[in-house]
Amino acid sequence: MQSDDSTHRASPPRTVGGYRELLAIAVPLVLSSSTQSLMHVVDRIFMTWHSKEAVAAALPAGILFWSFLSLPLGIVSYTNAFVAQYDGAKQPGRVAAAIWHAIYVALAFGFALIPFALLAGPLFDLVGHEASIRTLETEYFVSLSWGAVFALLPAALCCFFSGRGRAGIVLAVNATSVVVNAVLDPIFIFGWGPFPELGMCGAAIATNVANGFATVCYLALLMRSEARVTYGFWNHWRFDRRLMGELLRFGGPSGLQMFVDVAGFTAFIMIVGWIGKHELAATNIAFNLNNLAFTPVLGLGVAVSTLVGQRIGEGRPDIAEMSVRKAFVLAGGGMLLCGGVYVLAPQLLLAPYALRADGEHFSEIRRVVVVLLRFVALYSFFDAMVIVFGSAVRAAGDTTFSMLATFSCAWGLLVLPTYLTWKIYGPNLFWSWVWCSIYVIVLGFVFQRRFQSGRWKTMSIVHHTRLPLPETPL
């Protein structure tokens, strides 16, 4: 005769693994990611209004900063999977301990990245963009570097909520921080009121302040009784060498994957910048508009990570598979819809950028962006495969494969082919974007096949880290 527990597992509630459960977590996270995407769009719009050099310099400097940040960001973000699996396994003390160790990683790397600001000038000199662009790239990179710790801490703290499916809290904090950024952007960039005109440096300062505000909000929320009593959050701050080792063991490859991916695109952007500032500005705007579709699907990917982690922790991977397939239907459909907008209404998307930009210079940028958006429409659907299926296998602990697959595709299908094409045939923006599209399409199929293999169903983080911890609340 089956136990109550086995009966429960054999006949889960109808909502488990269904669209209702998925949307309850995904919708706030999608909206949260959308607000972050909107923040970057607003930044670029203000920079476009400021000068064509500013918008050309923003992407290389910003993506280089994220290259340095991506390794620790990938590690602390992977705490979401730890929290989800521990929560599914009913180990609240381990949930709290995992967040504390993510905080330690964020603080250590955040302060360690500040000295890299000293390398900004030589790095951008090495890249070899125009002198006017290099100056702004250096300025933006240095300003962002001073706020690295505030870029990492919210990513660590939000996992306490997103990993348990409390996505509405993440949405509220992110939306509020985006409003802070949007208010401060024009004040610091253009020098409104008593503030001096700071240009790109002002945009970076606004971003840093908004991230600091989000950090304060999360810390305030962690003072509530749910965190203090149910999870004993403030009681589990002690450093645990073994838990940190497990976080680095699983989160390290996830962080390396993010680094390889971002570094690959960084190299791609730097190569494109060799053509000229018009092409670089056009690529910046195209990627910026791509984020309108890409970033919300990242939110759906976090929801997939949460649900897969919880089901793995409960020992029900088949239910997780149902959730992932439904998530891909939503993500793929959304990407196809956005792709149609990129092809059919590019002028509508570009209208805010042109509003106060130099008409003569922007007309040339506009012409190039319209073409690039067709590439974005081509690969967007496959980006959904990368995000959804990749999030699923990583949440189970399959992070080493994800890292190796991303490395092979990023450098074998994006960076090296683009560079060799230029060396043999000369600079060509069209072929650069062809290789970019091939990279995303192939990586999408790689993660789909890995998911379909089912190997991720046999993996678990919790089984590696069932360590004794006091569960006594404060």
Cα–Cα dist 198/205, whole Å: 9
363 contacts: CB under 8 Å, gap ≥ 6: none
pLDDT band at 259 (very low <50, low <70, confident <90, very high): confident
15 contacts: CB under 8 Å, gap ≥ 6: 21
Distance in angstroms between the alpha carbons of the first and the last residue of the chain? 41
Residue 403's nearest CA partner among 255, 264, 262, 297 is: 255
pLDDT at 117: 80
Please report, as a single letter, which amino acid is at residue 211.
Answer: N
Structure tokens at 42: 């607003």
* pLDDT more than 90, % of the chain: 35
pLDDT at 325: 94
75 assigned to some structural domain: yes
Res 225 pLDDT > 90: no
2 assigned to some structural domain: no
Query: Who has greater pLDDT, 149 or 54?
Result: 149
Cα–Cα dist 437/41, whole Å: 22
Cα–Cα dist 123/14, whole Å: 55
Structure tokens at 296: 């919300």
Cα–Cα dist 261/264, whole Å: 5
Cα–Cα dist 84/98, whole Å: 11
Cα–Cα dist 418/265, whole Å: 11
pLDDT band at 467 (very low <50, low <70, confident <90, very high): very low
Contact 222, 233 (CB under 8 A): yes
Lowest mean pLDDT among 235-239, 446-450, 470-474: 470-474
Query: Who has greater pLDDT, 83 or 46?
Result: 83
Query: Who has greater pLDDT, 63 or 110?
Result: 110
Cα–Cα dist 205/196, whole Å: 13
Res 11 pLDDT > 70: no
Contact 466, 220 (CB under 8 A): no
Cα–Cα dist 231/154, whole Å: 19
Residue 161's nearest CA partner among 152, 170, 153 is: 170
470 assigned to some structural domain: no
pLDDT at 160: 94
For residue 165, the SS3 value is: coil
280-322 pLDDT, tens digit per residue, is: 778 878 887 887 788 888 889 989 999 998 898 888 889 999 9
Distances 166 to 87, 91, 122, 181, 226 between C-alpha atoms, Å: 12, 17, 44, 24, 12
173 assigned to some structural domain: yes
Helices 200-221 & 131-145 angle (0-180, nearest 10): 20
pLDDT at 134: 80
Domain that holds residue 299: 21-459
Q: What's the structural domain count of the chain? A: 1
Total Cβ atoms within 10 A of residue 63: 21
12 assigned to some structural domain: no
pLDDT band at 37 (very low <50, low <70, confident <90, very high): low
pLDDT at 358: 60
Residue 185's nearest CA partner among 38, 354, 355, 31 is: 38
360 assigned to some structural domain: yes
Structure tokens at 359: 């008409």
Structure tokens at 145: 């570097």
Hey, CA dihedral for 28, 32, 35, 40, is it positive or negative?
negative
For residue 18, the SS3 value is: coil
Res 41 pLDDT > 50: yes
Cα–Cα dist 288/350, whole Å: 11
Cα–Cα dist 292/88, whole Å: 32
Residue 204's nearest CA partner among 150, 147, 155, 266 is: 147
Mean of the per-residue pLDDT values of the chain: 84
Please report, as a single letter, which amino acid is at residue 153.
Answer: L
pLDDT at 356: 65
Structure tokens at 301: 């990917």
Res 389 pLDDT > 80: yes
pLDDT at 438: 95
Distances 74 to 14, 245, 315, 403 between C-alpha atoms, Å: 34, 15, 25, 11
269 contacts: CB under 8 Å, gap ≥ 6: 59, 60, 63, 280, 283
Res 4 pLDDT > 50: no
Query: Who has greater pLDDT, 232 or 355?
Result: 232
6 assigned to some structural domain: no
397 contacts: CB under 8 Å, gap ≥ 6: 81, 250, 456, 459, 460, 461, 464
46 assigned to some structural domain: yes
pLDDT at 15: 64
pLDDT at 14: 45
Lowest mean pLDDT among 387-391, 409-413, 470-474: 470-474
Res 361 pLDDT > 70: no
Predicted model pTM: 0.75
